[in-house]
Structure 1
Amino acid sequence: MDDLRYMGNTLVIAPHADDEILGCGGTLSRLAAAGCPTTVAIVTKGTAPQFSEKLVSQIYAETKAAHHLVGVGKTIYLDLPAAALDTVPAAQLNAALAGLMQDVAPETVFVPFVGDIHMDHQLTFLAALVASRPRHLGAPRRIYAYETLSETNWYAPGITPAFIPNVFVDISKTLETKLDAFRCFASQVREFPDERSIEAIRALAIMRGASMYLGAAEAYMLVRQID
């Protein structure tokens, strides 16, 4: 399995903690093994009364443990309101993502898919694309949209965009690390046949891999590539 050094300095933008593991956990582990600098930015934070202080603290701890397992170099929290990004002025969200891009200066960016059912995902995608516009030589060279179980697959056929991957990353050797990282999110793990079960995450990885004659894979849609 070739390394992923060509991706260079990599940023994964996650609307919520755990999206980055669901979408890119195996890829992040490979990037760490290749020696690529990796940053994960968690866009939102749960706030009362919808999210208790205890749950928010638990998710921070879960995120730290998961990121340690896959080898994330740096975790950034933007602390915008979870499940309420539609209440944040577009200019404020765009500015937060623009500041993130400036600080990290990534060569490769992974973003949530615009067709995800969760509005936070859609708005994060749009703001990330605004922030990564190629208007200077330091703009990201590669942008990929990842899939998130229980969000990406609930699109309305013929009405919302469909996730049709055209980039596949072999995670045959890092699938178990990805699954262990998701197990760290005890607040999010569910029993099978729920989509957020370990069995469902494994099944998706195996299916994506088999479609490319691989043992397991994470699938992406290429948004932009500059060679």
Structure 2
Amino acid sequence: MATVDSKHAPLHPIVGDRLIAGDGTSAQDWQAWQGLDSLTRLDISTHFSTHRRVCIFAPHPDDEILGCGGLLQALVAQGNQVLIVSVTQGEKSHPNSPLYPTDKLAKIRALESQLALETLGSSLDLPNVSMISLNFPDGEVFGRQADFFDKLTSLIQPADILITPFAYDGHPDHEGTGQVVQRFAHEFKSRLNLTCYQVLIWAWHWAKPGDSRIPWHKAWRFDLSELQAQRKSYAMRCFSSQIYADPTTGTAPILSDTTLTRLSQPFEVYLHD
């Protein structure tokens, strides 16, 4: 990504000052923040009953791993049914690239996502995971919220637990996804017995420790075991189209080493009322 002076950059029409620019806040800065230690731990045996299906919404085919790669392993090990919903195919991550035309990139990213899941554990370890794509155009989720909401009415089942990116995560597709899923969960909470969690993904980039733009009072920390963290790190490396520079355009990796290090920390943070 191009480096932007976020202090003097104009506000983005969707994400405002939550800009994904430069290297972002380092993993070391986050690790040094004592506020992370004070977060309530998320016990999946208490909060994720095994009879409830868990739906993980990924704006692009990689967000399910970047945000929830640790929790996903724990849910499968516990016996939960998991549905991964790719909102887009991520086909426009490399505009004007001879190496990655949109049709080709959509197929590549789907294969990368499948490989990442297999890297989390062999197919025998993941019998309860299914994947679907809603096929919304990459980069247009925020403007398609009404259509998105309508699709959820036929997708979501009673007692589902919904996991979505933070509604103010800093990427328009993430924010569109988070806001729609959160609104759906709120409107149908009583009728369908729904629960919704929001996961921080790009917020780790633009936010600072203790940042008031994140409702830390709603934050729950899920600690990964050493094996879970290792598998998540390996799985993130499966997204080759995102972690290497594009030699045909000179575009830097979308997921830089700094970003991967930041998302490889041995914890994930979820927001839940």
1:149-207 Cα shifts (integer Å, max 9, x gaps)? 4x5532599x993263621112123011111111111111258xx7834664345554x
What is the rounded CA distance, in whole Å, between the counterparts of 2:71 and 2:189 in structure 1? 28
Partners of 2:91 and 2:229 lie apart in 1 by: 32
1:154 paired residue number: 206
Q: Would you say the 8 A contact 1:113–1:122 is kept in 2?
A: yes
Deviation at 1:87, TM superposition (A): 3.8
For 2:16, the equivalent position in structure 1 comes to none
Question: Kindly tell me: are residues 160 and 52 of structure 1, through their superposed partners in 2, closer, same or farther at Cα, counting changes over 3 Å?
Answer: farther
Partner of 1:126: 179
Structure 2 match to 1:209: none
Mapped partners of 1:179, 1:112: distance in 2: 19
The 3-state SS of whatever aligns with 1:174 is: helix
SS in 2 for 1:188: helix
Unaligned runs of 5+ in 2: 1-41, 96-100, 121-125, 246-252
Q: Which has the higher contact order (CA 8 A, sep 6+)?
A: 2
Q: TM-score, normalised by structure 1?
A: 0.77
Q: Do structure 1's residue 74 and structure 2's residue 162 form an aligned pair?
A: no
Q: Give the structure 2 partner of residue 100 of structure 1.
A: 155
CA contact (8 A) 2:65 2:235 kept: yes
Please provide the CA RMSD for this pair. Answer: 3.2
Q: Deviations over 1:38-64 (max 9, x none)?
A: 111011124579452111111010011
Q: Percent identity?
A: 26
What displacement does 1:115 show? 1.4
User: Cα gap change, 1:168/1:155 in structure 2, threshold over 3 Å: closer, same or farther?
Assistant: closer
Instruction: In structure 2, give the amino acid aligned to 1:201.
Output: L
Aligned counterparts of 2:78 and 2:208: Cα–Cα separation in 1: 38
Q: Secondary structure at the match of 2:240?
A: coil
- Offset, 1:74: 0.5
Using the TM superposition, name which of 63-72 and 22-31 deviates more.
Answer: 63-72
- Following superposition, the deviation at residue 137 of structure 1 comes to 4.4
Structure 2 residue corresponding to 1:27, chosen from 71, 84, 90: 71
Aligned residue number for residue 114 of structure 1: 167
Given candidates 59, 65, 78, the residue that maps to 1:15 is 59
Deviation per residue, 1:118-142 (Å, 9 max, x gap): 11111111110222234544332x3
Q: Residue 197 of structure 2: SS of its match in structure 1?
A: strand
Cα distance in 2, alignment partners of residues 161 and 99 from structure 1 = 33
Q: How many residues align?
A: 206
Unaligned 5+ runs, structure 1? 207-215
Report the TM-score, using the length of structure 2 for normalisation.
Answer: 0.65
Largest Rg, 1 or 2: 2
